[in-house]
Amino acid sequence: MLGAGGQLSGPFEGLDEVDQGRAIAAMLHLPDTISLPDPRPLVPAMVDISSRHPRLNVMNVEAAAAARLLGARVLLSPPTANGALAPVLDTEGLEWEQRDPTTT
């Protein structure tokens, strides 16, 4: 597996080579119902949120901006709900919910 096994990719390190391949293939072949937000409105929304929350990392800024543009509720894992993103979502008036990914 490529990469350093960080926060997001770390769980893949525990998988054998076959399961890593399956996981990567599943991400590369997402259903047509899953799409990416258009970056033209997303980037200005990210800049706007980042200007008020400059210590928030890019992924969290993107999540908040996408939630705003899509009118979506953000699902947070328990550790993430106790981190920097949840208070920003509250301040921005964005809906979020804590979910334990091991039980859903």
Q: How many residues are recorded in the chain?
A: 104
Looking at every residue in the chain, the average pLDDT score rounds to 86
Q: What is the pLDDT of residue 26?
A: 83
Distance CA 52, CA 43 (A): 15
Q: What is residue 7's predicted lDDT score, i.e. its pLDDT?
A: 58
Q: What's the CA angle centered on 102, arms 68 and 81, to 5 degrees?
A: 40
User: Position 65: which residue type?
Assistant: A
pLDDT digits (tens, 9 = 90+) for 59-90: 999 999 999 999 999 999 888 899 999 999 99
Number of continuous H segments (helices) and E segments (strands) in the chain: 6, 2
CA pair distance 69, 16, nearest whole angstrom: 38
